[in-house]
Amino acid sequence: MNPSLLLTALCLGIASAAPEFDHSLNTQWELWKAVHRRLYDLNEEGWRKEVWKKNMKMIELHNQEYSEGKYSFSMAMNAFGDMTNEEFRQVMNGFQRQKNKKRKVSQETIFASIPLSVDWREKGYVTPVKDQGKCGSCWAFSTTGALEGQMFRKTGKLVSLSEQNLVDCSQPEGNHGCQGGLTDNAFQYVLDVGGLDSEESYPYTGLAGTCHYNPNNSAANVTGFVDLPKQEKALMKAVATLGPISAAIDASNPSFQFYKSGIYYEPKCSSESVDHAVLVVGYGFEGAHSDDNKYWLVKNSWGERWGMNGYIKMAKDRNNHCGIATMISYPTV
């Protein structure tokens, strides 16, 4: 199965800054390189610095407008600062929605009282934030996150599961290692082989390697998986009653690349074209309970330095914003 084509890159034209601002940026650039341990050759340094400066100026402009109330979220420089948005999407957003692949959507209705807010981290369902590195394996992290939660629900024990096992071994089900994949294919792999190794027994390398799954080290299994209807109500019911749920979103915009805090609402977001797999671990609202203040609590796989210690609050009940309910599923155990 061929992966879907990447979206066309967004070109950001940023006006040149005053000399003193450039001097300040030069100082920040040197500090950023030190913090993120970047070493370039002379040819690469110049243009990486220009990319970083453009990103920094975009962030500063956004945060100025955020302080004026024009946005509901802030941005910040992070480890992706020297990457163009096109590079970022190619490397980090590895969810591949394949054409002509029909999903068996569950029509099951979950009858239960639905609370106004949920956070499964508080109940022990969620492992610490992980980091996929420069490997398009978001789909594997979304898969393990959902399965970790369901195994905890079943056994009362939270065991970190192996993304590397999925990256190395689920090609027969249609995944492509660091080049992308689908959570459903990953759930199918676990079903096919009868288990998934623990993180401890099969640690993450961030590179696609030879499969060495060992059934003796399996820490989880599935009996199947459920694809939910493309409705935020269905996602809310599932999150409220079952635990963390796998989802896919449009993470292609620069504002997502440098998200820091607040409720993420991006007018340029697509509700159909999704390119990044994440884990919905809860939902809630800030301040008064109105549509503009409601959010999905989403666990990302870009390390704790990104966003809110690795998490993002995404706008909820605003017409499937960023496609949060477009491809939602969970494993049965």
Cα separation of 154 and 22, whole Å? Answer: 56
82 against 25, higher pLDDT:
82
**Is 169 marked active-site?**
no
How far, CA to CA in Å, does 196 sit from each of 15, 80, 216, 219, 321? 51, 31, 10, 6, 32
Amino acid 92: pLDDT: 82
pLDDT at 51 over 80: yes
**Is 135 marked active-site?**
no
The whole-model pTM stands at 0.88
Query: Looking up tokens 């696609």, which residue turns up?
Result: 208
Amino acid 202: pLDDT: 98
**Is 78 marked active-site?**
no
CATH T-level assignment (fold) for domain 86-332: Cathepsin B; Chain A (3.90.70)
Amino acid 105: pLDDT: 61
Amino acid 214: pLDDT: 97
Segment 255-281 mean pLDDT:
96
Which pLDDT band holds residue 291 (cuts at 50, 70, 90)?
A: low
Which pLDDT band holds residue 22 (cuts at 50, 70, 90)?
A: low
CA torsion through residues 129, 167, 92, 299, sign: negative
Q: How far is CA 218 from the centre of its chain?
A: 25
CA angle 316-257-323, nearest 5°? Answer: 35
- Contact partners, residue 248, CB within 8 Å, separation at least 6: 95, 97, 142, 183, 274, 275, 276, 277, 278, 323, 326, 327, 328
The pLDDT mean for the chain works out to 89
100 against 59, higher pLDDT:
59
The ranges assigned to domains in the chain are 86-332
Lowest mean pLDDT among 83-87, 298-302, 325-329: 83-87
pLDDT at 164 over 90: yes
Strand segments, DSSP code E, in the chain are 73-75, 118-119, 196-197, 218-220, 224-227, 245-249, 259-264, 276-285, 294-299, 311-315, 329-332
Amino acid 113: pLDDT: 77
Which of the following is catalytic: 85, 253, 300, 320? Answer: 300
Cβ atoms of 74 and 59 closer than 8 Å = no
Which of the following is catalytic: 55, 93, 138, 253? Answer: 138
Which of the following is catalytic: 78, 85, 269, 276? Answer: 276
182-236 pLDDT per residue, tens: 999 999 999 999 999 999 999 999 999 999 999 999 999 999 999 999 999 999 9
Which pLDDT band holds residue 43 (cuts at 50, 70, 90)?
A: confident
In degrees rounded to 5, what are phi and psi of residue 78?
Answer: -150, -165
